[in-house]
Amino acid sequence: CKGVNGLDKLVLREPRGSSAEVYLYGGHVTSWKNDHGEELLFVSSKAVFKPPKAIRGGIPICFPQFSNLGSLEQHGFARNRFWTIETDPPPFPTTTSSKTFVDLILKPSEEDMKIWPHGFEFRLRVALGPGGDLMLTSRIRNTNTDGKPFTFTFAYHTYFSVSDISEVRVEGLETLDYLDNLQNRERFTEQGDAITFESEVDKIYLSTPTKIAILDHEKKRTFVIRKDGLPDAVVWNPWDKKAKAMTDFGDDEYKHMLCVEAAAVEKPITLKPGEEWRGRQELSAVPSSYCSGQ
Ligand code: BG6
């Protein structure tokens, strides 16, 4: 069906009530709701649904470059290209029993080949589990005919909706090394217990566990991120000053969002012609008491 500004979007629905929305523009998930119809992702009220601006919120796909770590535009171009639906993709390894999914594909245009001269097929499956879990599986294949490998970095730039950032903590990253984007990507080691927030944060945690949790005390909700093929995790909140500087982001909206991004950044992925890489994230939202046993 049609979304904002007439852009095509797909809606996935599970019988118990959960749902997800995916825009072909960016292959971008813009909504994920639980059985009670509560929105779990943050999308800015000022988000611009118009190319070439990427949609502010949901789950932008950063490919073939995370951040400005290369010659391409910030976060690469996959998030502001039009993807197409693929009705009969090559079989996925059995990663999910879900029957509610959509398969999208992105291939480079001639213009894309000028800025990143590589043949690729990027297949994205967005699936909703019967319990409302949201699964994103990316498969990227090198289709170069010139025998050349290519190298890329990647992130699922997920914006989680939280009640109050000051009340939120992230578990699973304590004691890990990180590169601090706010300090010239210098390397530090996290010292504290769980991560909490009281100012701008922009860190790339390295070699993280496959499971990370975001605890939202006020909402009594825990998001669990499970990931595969994505060793790093970026944690970002712009806080007040940066929020004000972004035209597509409300001044106070930083209080209600947190990005925790399953990523492959520190060690870029290299694919030879014919090779395929797979990176997957699975998101669930559970009542806190259930998750932590409190
Ligand atoms: C994060 C980066 O992933 O994305 C930040 O670590 C960046 O440095 C943020 O500011 C938002 O990027 P953009 O391009 O969507 O404004």
Q: Where are the domains of the chain?
A: 4-292
Q: If you measure from the C-alpha of residue 133 to the centroid of ligand 1, how many angstroms do you get, rounded to a whole number?
A: 25
Contact call for residues 294 and 168 (beta carbons, < 8 A): no
The pLDDT assigned to 97 comes to 67
- Ligand 1 atom nearest residue 157's Cα: 3
Residue 19 CA to residue 127 CA, distance in Å, equals 10
- Rounded to an integer, what distance in angstroms lies between the CA atom of residue 234 and that of residue 182? 13
Q: How does pLDDT run along the chain (294 residues), one tens digit per residue?
A: 999 999 999 999 999 999 999 999 999 999 999 999 999 999 999 999 999 999 999 999 999 999 999 999 999 999 999 999 999 898 877 656 678 999 999 999 999 999 999 999 999 999 999 999 999 999 999 999 999 999 999 999 999 999 999 999 999 999 999 999 999 999 999 998 899 999 999 999 999 999 999 999 999 999 999 999 999 999 999 999 999 999 999 999 999 999 999 999 999 999 999 999 999 999 999 998 655 444
What is the CB < 6 Å shell around ligand 1? 54, 67, 74-75, 157, 181, 202, 234, 236, 261
pTM attached to this predicted model = 0.96
Ligand 1 pocket test: pick from 206, 236, 239 the residue with the most ligand atoms within 8 Å of its Cβ.
Answer: 236
Fold annotation for 4-292 = Beta-galactosidase; Chain A, domain 5 (2.70.98)
CA 68 to ligand 1 center in whole angstroms = 9
CB hemisphere CA count around 73 (13 angstroms): 12
Residues 6+ apart with CB under 8 A from 88: none
Within a 10 A sphere around the Cβ of 42, how many other Cβ atoms?
20
